[in-house]
Amino acid sequence: MSRASDQLKLWLPQHWPMWFGVGVVWLLDKLPWPEKRLLARGLGWFIFNVLTIRRRVVFTNLRLCFPKLSVQEISILARAHYDSLALGLFEVCAGWWAKKQDLPPYRVVGAEHLDAALARGKGALLLTAHFTTLEIGGRFMSETRSMGGLYRDPNNPVVAHLMRGQRARHMSPAVHFDDLRGLVRGLRSNAAIWYAPDQGKRTKSSEILPFFGVPAITNTATSKIAEMTGAAVVPFFAKREADHSYTLTILPALENFPTADASADAVRINEIIEEHIKHAPEQYFWVHKRFKARGPGYPTVY
């Protein structure tokens, strides 16, 4: 079936509620940022206290990753996470649709590290993780330097259609996460490609390795990709600041990477991600079941 036919199907009545929701969010995105932050706090309160979407998952993840926190501290952190999730929705809209002059204030620290990595001529894996600032951080990066990226289609076809369009608009190349050849081609053409390996699933390139000291399915393919292409692995992270600005931090390319031990390399990446999570723990994507499907010998925590 042609792509045009697939797109026509998106306008069938069963998709109208989603299109209506997209339209509402698009209109709300036109509000000034102070009003959007206020709405986000209200929406975060409503989801946390009324809808309770994945609240048990969030509490479980936080207890596992921060065992020294008290019950009250976990609850405060979880509540702050839902505000962060809600604000992330407005940040998605800004990342997709906002003009450059309408983006919130941000600063870029360490752009010279990406320049140095690309000067080698073998591309760069822009190593990051699934934070609630993911979309707007990608937009900041694309405004700073030309960037490609891996993407995964969401389950909802309307959202998937919109996301594919925005990926193609802001990223070059935009590569589906299953397209290893496309990723390799992009790196060999000396592209910088957004890459977040922190949501593991059972594959040939996964192992059970510690994340905050807790066994979790972990992607070990980063070493293989770097070895195949010679690409530098350059960590970068976006963080909301207390003054409502954003900091995009680009770190130096990993030295002595990859090694002969892909498991040790993956643990090293987990530790880099953990360190950044500690700077703003409420901004990580705790609604994801990070410790699911670990197999025999591991308790079912959700």
pLDDT tens digits, one per residue of 19-65: 999 999 889 889 999 999 999 999 999 999 999 989 999 999 999 99
Band of the pLDDT at 262, cuts 50, 70, 90?
A: very high
In a domain, 296, yes or no: no
pLDDT confidence bin for 273, thresholds 50/70/90? very high
On the question of pLDDT at 93 being above 70, the answer is yes
Cβ atoms 63, 300 nearer than 8 A: no
pLDDT on residue 215: 97
Surface-to-core class of residue 214, CB atoms within 10 Å of its CB (0-12 exposed, 13-18 middle, 19+ buried): middle
**φ, ψ for residue 243, nearest 5 deg:** -90, 10
CB atoms within 10 A of CB 236: 27
Residue 159 and residue 165: Cα distance in Å, rounded?
Answer: 10
> What's the domain count of the chain?
1
- What is residue 1's predicted lDDT score, i.e. its pLDDT? 47
Instruction: Output phi, psi for 218, to 5 deg.
Output: -130, 130
Distance CA 78, CA 68 (A): 15
Q: Which two tokens stand for residue 189?
A: 């053409």
CA distances from 2 to 6, 147, 174 (A): 6, 29, 20
Query: Would 293 be classed as within a structural domain?
Result: no
Where in the sequence is the domain holding 166, given as residue range(s)?
A: 3-283
pLDDT digits 0-9 by tens, 70-90: 999 999 999 999 999 999 999
Q: Indicate the pTM of the whole model.
A: 0.92
Nearest to 144 by CA among 247, 240, 277: 247
Q: Residue 140 domain-assigned?
A: yes
Q: Where are the alpha helices (DSSP H) in the chain?
A: 3-9, 16-28, 33-46, 55-65, 71-97, 111-118, 134-144, 157-170, 180-188, 221-229, 262-279
What is the pLDDT confidence band of residue 155, given thresholds at 50, 70 and 90?
A: confident
Instruction: Look at residue 295 and tell me if it is in a domain.
Output: no
- pLDDT greater than 60 at residue 2: no
Q: Does a structural domain hold residue 185?
A: yes
Measure the CA angle with vertex 32, ends 29 and 36; round to 5°.
60
Top pLDDT among 203 and 267 is at 267
Is the pLDDT at 3 greater than 80, yes or no?
no
Report whether pLDDT(200) > 80.
no
Let me know the angle formed at the C-alpha of 261 by 256 and 267, rounded to the nearest 5 degrees: 80
* 82 contacts: CB under 8 Å, gap ≥ 6: 44, 45, 47, 48, 58
Residue 176 has pLDDT above 90, yes or no: no
Q: Select from 153, 185, 154, 158 the least CA-distant residue to 172.
A: 185
Residue 127 lies in a domain: yes
Whether residue 148 is contained in a domain is answered as yes
Domain membership flag for residue 176: yes
Residue 283 per-residue DSSP state: G
Mean pLDDT for all residues in the chain: 93
Q: Which residues on neighbouring strands pair with residue 209, listed in sequence order?
A: 216
Span 253-258, mean pLDDT?
A: 97
pLDDT at 163 over 80: yes
